[in-house]
Amino acid sequence: MAGRYIPLTEDEKRRMLEAVGVASIDALFEAIPAELRQRGELKIAGPQSELEVERHLASLADLNTHSCLSFVGAGAYQHHIPAHVGQTALRSEFSTAYTPYQPEISQGTLQAVFEFQTMMCQLTGLDISNASLYDGATATAEAMLMSNRANDRKTFLIPRSLHPEYRAVCRTYAANLGFNLVEIGFGADGRSDLAEAASAAGADLSAIILQSPNFFGCLEDWTEAARIAHAHDALAVAVTAEALSLALIKSPGECGCDIAVGEAQSFGIPVSFGGPYLGFLAARQKLVRNMPGRLVGQTIDKNGRRGYVLTLATREQHIRREKATSNICTNQGLCALMATIYMATLGRRGLRDLACLNLSQAAYLRKAIESSRKMRVRFSGTCFNELVVDLGRSSKEVQERLQDRGVIAGLPLGVFFPELATTLLLCVTETARREDIDTLVRELEAVL
Amino acid sequence: MKPEMKLIFEKSREGRTGYQVPDTGVESVDPRAHLGRWFREDIAGFPELSEPEVVRHFVNLSKLNYSIDEGMYPLGSCTMKYNPKINETTAAMDGFAGVHPYWPERQIQGALRLMRDLEHLLCEITGLAAFSLQPAAGAHGELTGMLMVTAHNKSRGEKRDVVLIPDSAHGTNPSSAHICGLKVQQIASNTRGRLDLESLRAHISPSVAALMITNPNTLGLFEDEIAKIAGMLHEAGAQLYMDGANMNALLGKVRPGDLGVDVLHLNLHKTFSTPHGGGGPGAGPVGAAKHLERFRPVPVIEEHDGQLRFASNRPDSVGKVKGFYGNFGMLVRAYTYILSLGASGLREIAEAAVLNANYVRAKLSDRYHLPYSCLNMHEVILSDKKQMVHGVTTLNIAKRLMDYGFHPPTIYFPLIVSGAMMIEPTESEPLDEIDRFIAAMRAIADEAETNPDIVKNAPHSTTVQKLDEARAARTPILRWKP
Amino acid sequence: MTYPENYRYTKEHEWIALEGDVGTIGITDFAQRELGDIILVDLPKAGAHLDEHQTMGTVESVKAVSEIYSPITGDVIEVNDSLASAPEKVNQDPHGAAWFVKVKVSNPAAADALMTADQYADYIQQKAGS
């Protein structure tokens, strides 16, 4: 009995075996020494009908909460996704195609990537962008490796206000390469102490890696970071975990940064328990040969017609092997397509309007907290759509109590910053209505 | 002929938008005043279109692609199998797609249980002790696996800085090892297309951290001396890493753990049917034998009093390799797939995939040169040796296949076969489609003799024809400019 | 294409033309044909010291990267900067306009150990046949 995904009938198998010249299916596997072969079947139930599988998965999905009011951000943002984004991206022609190695029959994917690269350049204010990386954390680590390739130096300034998971991934990637990762502290405004960065910068500085809005939601000074880096002939890497902010905030390029990386999950990609997301990396033209990942370029065909191809592939692993600029092969292609459709839909006006709404939401939340006597805004720095609230007592306990009241009140920061164990990182996107924000503040006050 | 496709920026008209901002009831702030020195004036050049225009643009673009849902896609080593649609339905369930990674553990028990169950299923399929689902793709899995090997050696106070890699390996292998600070030494293949044991013996030393082997290898052949290879490495204190890109051939037939493999990665986007998405996302879980388990990335899933939770306090771990916990959406798809098939279905996949590839070989062996003429596993390698006489190359044959309505095989890989064509039909193809492909390949072999120019100038039927790649690389245009 | 009689050649397909103690270095016509369309030539800077048989740069085509090995020991005195903007010159005129660097050679006699034009022609003939 052939499974529903396997077309061959028993009769066809017999005919094919005959053509191959072997007596049985088993004989096809004769290259595997008999003593190594598996005896009996795997211990996996099934096959199951589609209905049964769907029911089982639905029962698991139902074990997860999805009807709470959630105010969690911290690198994964719940934005509304227009219906056509997923429907268009999931068309078979996009989702079931491979990497566009054969350009003549992959122009759809290639042109979409070219458009993605263009939009990321426009947003970051830089000259070139690649076709995507796994996520914001690995993109940050790739920027670190790229800086090392560009200037052959090994010291990196990594502020503590950089997303803790991004920092952790940088440490993992650097573990066997002899890199020196220097942490920089933050002040009462929630921003990195760039004076400390300036004094830590020396002749071996490869790059300063500064996130804005940073992990606490505060805007950082990329211009000053670039000035410090350039004074030492080093590079400035701008990181953004909430890509929507780029629509309204002075771009890394305009601030003088050399590389911009981050997470573009906000652009039409569901939070999906942490992935798949969309890492991006953009840079100045002079760094093009050091770029990791795929690049799509415009060219012409033999009739002079415009077309697109994967280009500058000699940087990549399949040609340069251990000397490649990165080991990345499969990237986040379909996520980049979703982001491209999303950005095209919102466009020049919609993206800025949405960013402005997020800014307004956080301003409203901030005002509400400031007018409460039971809690306070922890950092004075300007925010985009996230801020840190200090409850004066264990935020983990408060957050747990609010769960019973149908509210997930942000992320307790004690898990990453012991000194911030009384604080919550709160996020408000356009999905929160005014009454939802009021509910949050009311519920917090009720348990404090 | 269809008109040239405009870029989305060229279709933009000032004043249009495809989005209406919701009214949340919150008063709008003046962003310029609010942001001060951070305020950005404009996103110059960003497109402005209505929703129908955006949808049409991308639907029209999609039509310029070839995809597995249209026909056979015999791209060797990439396992272009059918991607069941139920997988999309389950991954999109609100209880999965709508779950935030930082929600408290009590709210995410379903997601944790799915991940734990999938880890157990992959352990059962591979015969290994433990899995990490975090790596985002095959190359990321290689990096993670080799970081674990490096951590293992460090924990024993050993300095092993050499990795052995066969000459037929994927380029990601040496590239991933390089990020672990390892130096690559290449091992030759023998005349049977397998790893040469003499070459291996000559390279084994106390500095060797691991051998990275692909099995079946990129020639589509099972490494039949794998047990001996594992023994040689283990005797020298080195690890056996298996690139599981070709696991489709082994499902239910042989378990890597039983072959002496210490660590491996799987490609869920190859073997376990998650869609390739025009280049990703994928997922590259890493499996490890008992002695390497404690080096897995954090967090790992633990069970306490019937509740599952993430544990990060693991002093031996290599650390974090990715934000959050991996490409979860791809894990849901692969889990759905494994449950749909069950043990017998998985085994039938390997059987059908291997039968199809051998059938293609048998039906083309009289017209194309076979560098290795033995029984193969899930893919078969041909070369252009017979067609070269007429000036027709592998590239020409690949492009000509497009005119016959097929995606070409993987070409010029592995590097050790001149003019290689690597054909992997997978189990998804009906016999009629395979026969149609064989007929196309035979017709091209005829054309190479009787009308080589039609092959050399292919493709003729595509919207764009041969593209000038040298021009693209010499003066790169990597973005649109007004 | 013929191989100039007054040049010397390496097994890695570089050529060197000596005038006194100044050597001009490039890659051969055979090498450029093997590589295909050249898209980038990465060369050492003026003042760099080169050692015989050591890597002095890379040549890239669309789908391959090839290292360039110095045929001789010496110091770079001039670099052909025009290749940066016009790498296709290597395909068009490998033995002439597309020279890579000029080197002040420490021991010009060392070039005698390299292949002559005839020897090199035989060498690539054999390679093509294998």
**Mind giving me the DSSP string for C24-92?**
EEEE-HHHHHHH-SEEEEE-PPTT-EE-TTSEEEEEEESS-EEEEE-SS-EEEEEE-THHHH-TTHHHH
Question: Which residue(s) pair with A211 in the sheet?
Answer: A239
| Sequence-ordered list of residues with C-beta below 8 angstroms from that of B229, at least 6 positions apart, any chain | B195, B197, B200, B211, B213, B223, B240, B260
Is B469 close to C87, i.e. CB distance below 8 A?
no
Min distance A69 CA to chain B CA atoms (Å) = 11
Q: What is the 3-state secondary structure (H, E, C) of chain B?
A: CCCCCCCHHHHCCCCCCCCCCCCCCCCCCCHHHHHHHHECCCCCCCCCCCHHHHHHHHHHHHCCECCCCCCCCCECCCCCCCCCCHHHHHHCCHHHHCCCCCCCHHHEHHHHHHHHHHHHHHHHHHCCCEEECCCCCHHHHHHHHHHHHHHHHHHCCCCCCEEEEECCCCCHHHHHHHHCCCEEEEECECCCCCECHHHHHHHCCCCEEEEEEECCCCCCCCCCCHHHHHHHHHHCCCEEEEEECCHHHCCCCCCHHHHCCCEEEECCCCCCCCCCCCCCCCCCCEEECHHHHHHCCCCEEEEECCEEEEECCCCCCCCCCCCCCCCHHHHHHHHHHHHHHHHHHHHHHHHHHHHHHHHHHHHHCCCCECCCCCCCCCCEEEECHHHHCCCCCHHHHHHHHHHCCCCCCEECCCCCCCCEEEECCCCCCCHHHHHHHHHHHHHHHHHHHHCHHHHHCCCCCCCCCCECHHHHHHCCCCCCCC
Whether the per-residue pLDDT at A436 is higher than 50: the answer is: yes
Min distance B353 CA to chain C CA atoms (Å) = 31
Is C40 close to B473, i.e. CB distance below 8 A?
yes
Tracing tokens 């440490």 back to the chain, one arrives at A171
**What are the residue boundaries of the structural domains of chain C, listed by start?**
7-107+114-124
Q: B11-26 burial string, b = 16+ CB within 10 Å, else e?
A: bbeeebbbbebeebeb
Q: Within the 72-111 window of chain A, which residues sit less than 8 Å (CB to CB) from chain C?
A: none
Mean pLDDT of C83-92: 93
- pLDDT bucket at C128, cuts 50 / 70 / 90: low
The H or E element that residue A443 is part of is helix A434-447
Q: Does C75 touch chain A (CB under 8 A)?
A: no
* Mean pLDDT value across chain C: 91
- Residue-wise pLDDT tens digits, B89-130: 999 999 999 999 999 999 999 999 999 999 999 999 999 999
Pairing of strands A296-300, C65-69: unpaired
Share of chain B above pLDDT 70, in %: 100
Cβ atoms of residues A96 and B67 within 8 Å = yes
Share of chain A above pLDDT 70, in %: 99
- Residue-wise pLDDT tens digits, B276-310: 999 999 999 999 999 999 999 999 999 999 899 99
- Chains adjacent to B (≥3 CB pairs closer than 8 angstroms): A, C
Q: Does C84 touch chain A (CB under 8 A)?
A: no
| Sequence-ordered list of residues with C-beta below 8 angstroms from that of B471, at least 6 positions apart, any chain | A299, A300
- Chain B contact residues (CB < 8 Å to C): 469-470, 473-474
Compute φ and ψ for A380, nearest 5 degrees. -85, -15
Is A97 close to B281, i.e. CB distance below 8 A?
no
Nearest CA in chain C to A310: C62
Whether the per-residue pLDDT at A21 is higher than 90: the answer is: yes
Nearest CA in chain B to C40: B474
The matching CATH number, chosen from 3.30.2130.10, 1.20.120.140, 3.40.640.10, 3.30.1360.120, for B86-339 is 3.40.640.10
| pLDDT at residue C130 in the model | 45
Interface test with B, best of A70, A289, A329 (most B CBs within 10 A): A329
Min distance C105 CA to chain A CA atoms (Å) = 29
Whether the per-residue pLDDT at A318 is higher than 90: the answer is: no
Is B466 close to A177, i.e. CB distance below 8 A?
no
- Chains adjacent to C (≥3 CB pairs closer than 8 angstroms): A, B
- pLDDT bucket at A66, cuts 50 / 70 / 90: low
Min distance C94 CA to chain B CA atoms (Å) = 17
Q: Does C46 touch chain A (CB under 8 A)?
A: no
Min distance C37 CA to chain A CA atoms (Å) = 13
Chain C residues within an 8 Å CB radius of A320:
65
Interface test with B, best of C32, C42, C62, C130 (most B CBs within 10 A): C62
Question: Which residue(s) pair with A263 in the sheet?
Answer: A279
| pLDDT at residue B350 in the model | 98
Is B19 close to A173, i.e. CB distance below 8 A?
no
The matching CATH number, chosen from 3.90.1150.10, 3.10.450.50, 3.40.630.10, 3.40.190.80, for A69-80+350-447 is 3.90.1150.10
Is B470 close to C40, i.e. CB distance below 8 A?
no
Chain C residues within an 8 Å CB radius of A323:
65
Chain A residues within an 8 Å CB radius of C40:
289, 314
* Closest Cβ opposite residue A320 in set C61, C62, C65: C65
Pairwise CA distance, residues B80 & B77, whole Å: 9
- DSSP class of residue C97 equals T
| pLDDT at residue C63 in the model | 78
Min distance C28 CA to chain A CA atoms (Å) = 21
Min distance C63 CA to chain A CA atoms (Å) = 6
Mean pLDDT of A398-420: 95
Min distance C103 CA to chain B CA atoms (Å) = 27
**What are the residue boundaries of the structural domains of chain B, listed by start?**
8-62, 86-339
Tracing tokens 């300007």 back to the chain, one arrives at A382
Question: Which residue(s) pair with C48 in the sheet?
Answer: none
Interface test with C, best of A319, A322, A325 (most C CBs within 10 A): A319
* Closest Cβ opposite residue B65 in set A25, A65, A94: A94
Is A274 close to B138, i.e. CB distance below 8 A?
no
Min distance B318 CA to chain C CA atoms (Å) = 33
Min distance A355 CA to chain B CA atoms (Å) = 9
Pairwise CA distance, residues A420 & A378, whole Å: 9
Min distance C62 CA to chain B CA atoms (Å) = 6
How many CA within 13 A on the CB side of residue A196? 13
| pLDDT at residue A324 in the model | 84
* Mean pLDDT value across chain A: 96
Q: What CATH number labels A83-341?
A: 3.40.640.10
For chain B, state the CA radius of gyration: 25
- Residue-wise pLDDT tens digits, A106-121: 999 999 999 999 999 9
Q: Does C40 touch chain A (CB under 8 A)?
A: yes
Pairwise CA distance, residues C105 & A83, whole Å: 69
- pLDDT bucket at B1, cuts 50 / 70 / 90: low
Is B136 close to A359, i.e. CB distance below 8 A?
no
Is A307 close to B184, i.e. CB distance below 8 A?
no
Tell me the DSSP string of A379-440.
Answer: --S-BSSEEEEE-SS-HHHHHHHHHTTTEE--EEGGGT-GGGTTEEEEE--TTS-HHHHHHH
Whether the per-residue pLDDT at A1 is higher than 60: the answer is: no
* Closest Cβ opposite residue A31 in set B224, B327, B399: B224
Pairwise CA distance, residues A412 & A406, whole Å: 17
Pairwise CA distance, residues A236 & A163, whole Å: 17
End-to-end CA distance of chain B: 26
Interface predicted TM-score (ipTM) of this complex, two decimals: 0.97
- pLDDT bucket at C2, cuts 50 / 70 / 90: confident
Q: What CATH number labels C7-107+114-124?
A: 2.40.50.100
- pLDDT bucket at C129, cuts 50 / 70 / 90: low
Is C88 close to B470, i.e. CB distance below 8 A?
yes
Chain A residues within an 8 Å CB radius of B276:
95-99, 330, 333
Reference A219, options A196, A197, A195, A239; nearest CA is A239
B246: which 2 tokens?
Answer: 């070709």
- Residue-wise pLDDT tens digits, B385-401: 999 999 999 999 999 99
Interface test with B, best of A327, A364, A403 (most B CBs within 10 A): A327
Is C64 close to A320, i.e. CB distance below 8 A?
no
| Intrachain domains A69-80+350-447 and A83-341 with the same fold | no
Nearest CA in chain B to A61: B95
Using CB atoms within 10 Å of the CB of residue A58, give its burial: 0 to 12 exposed, 13 to 18 middle, 19+ buried. Answer: middle
Q: Does A314 touch chain C (CB under 8 A)?
A: yes
**What are the residue boundaries of the structural domains of chain A, listed by start?**
10-52, 69-80+350-447, 83-341
Reference B435, options A25, A8, A96, A5; nearest CA is A8
A86: which 2 tokens?
Answer: 């997923």
* Closest Cβ opposite residue A249 in set B38, B124, B340: B38
Q: B111-127 burial string, b = 16+ CB within 10 Å, else e?
A: bbbbbbebbebbbbbbb
| pLDDT at residue A315 in the model | 85
Chain B residues within an 8 Å CB radius of C33:
none
Whether the per-residue pLDDT at A379 is higher than 60: the answer is: yes
- Residue-wise pLDDT tens digits, A244-301: 999 999 999 999 999 999 999 999 999 999 999 999 999 999 999 999 999 999 999 9
Chain B residues within an 8 Å CB radius of A19:
359, 362-363
Chain B residues within an 8 Å CB radius of A307:
464, 467
